[in-house]
Amino acid sequence: MKSTLCSLALAGSVLATAPAMAGEWLQWQSNSLTYLWGKDFAVDPETQQTFTFEHADSWKYGDNFLFVDSIHYQGKKSDSAGNNTLYGEFSPRLSASKIFGQPIALGPVKDVLLAMTYEFGEGDVESYLIGPGFDLNVPGFDYFQLNFYKRYSDGSRAGDNVWQITPVFSYTLPVGKSDILVDGYIDWVVGNDSNNHGDYHANLHVNPQIKYDLGKALNLGEKQLYVGIEYDYWENKYGIKDTDSFDTNQNTASFLLKVFF
């Protein structure tokens, strides 16, 4: 099953990239760099700064999202990663409406998709996710996705045989001469799993960014330069059960500076 997921993800990447380079199938793309600094993280060293590259695109048969975090621990080393680590996710989706050339919609559902995610990085993190995805019409939102994944994992911390529900959203709020953008995701792993290495527990990760369009306010161009915070709440982080002796519930916020190019 894992080889099948890898093949699907690779196929999505190749199909999106090669035709796009020919200038025929790419509908839009977005790239950004983000700097984050925050304290009070759980499990890992409590003070961190992160540099993040993000890419998103829409193409003839679906859409893609990729992010890569370069995480740097300050004041204390991680037991597993030392002073820094890398983590990323690649999430291709194939659209039924685009593939069949006609709207696949019902009520608030705008489109039905095959959603996939590959989680990768240093250490015990590699996982493969696949399931149905839905694009929804939610009043006021720029977009709202709802993806359902079955998780398949190589590592000890990311259990097999559990489902993950992932809403992804964006909401723009006009404020004065500029805007506040609230966007992000929620990863809700709804079940527990026991594997050869131990127990992987249900967990909830809420990770929105709340940012002000500083570029628009300064007449430097809208949707180019943002400042704000990234809020991070993670119950049973990494699927590790919170106990009196080991706090794995994370509740923190980081300063954010984000540039699109």
How many Cα atoms occupy the beta-carbon half-sphere of 49 within 13 Å? Answer: 5
Smallest Cα–Cα separation from 233: which of 169, 183, 188, 182? Answer: 188
Q: Does domain 2-260 have CATH number 3.40.50.300?
A: no
- Token pair belonging to 217: 């306010």
Summary count for the chain: helices (H), strands (E): 3, 14
Let me know: does 237 contact 206? Beta carbons within 8 Å: no
Average pLDDT over all residues of the chain: 90
Q: What is the pLDDT of residue 159?
A: 61
**Average pLDDT of the segment spanning 125-152:** 96
pLDDT digits (tens, 9 = 90+) for 94-119: 999 999 999 999 999 999 999 999 99
The answer, yes or no, to whether residue 130 has pLDDT greater than 60, is yes
The answer, yes or no, to whether residue 199 has pLDDT greater than 70, is yes
The DSSP code for 100 is H
Q: What is the pLDDT of residue 77?
A: 78
What is the share, in percent, of the chain residues with pLDDT greater than 70? 86
The DSSP code for 239 is G
Higher per-residue pLDDT: 191 or 259: 259
pLDDT digits (tens, 9 = 90+) for 221-251: 999 999 999 999 999 999 999 999 999 999 9
The conformational region for residue 40 under phi > 0 = left, psi -120 to 50 = alpha, else beta, is: left
Smallest Cα–Cα separation from 94: which of 17, 15, 21? Answer: 15
Domain map (residue ranges) of the chain: 2-260
Q: What is the pLDDT of residue 78?
A: 75
Question: Using CA atoms, how far apart are residues 151 and 148, in angstroms rounded to an integer?
Answer: 10
Question: Can you tell me which residue has the tokens 């300050």?
Answer: 74
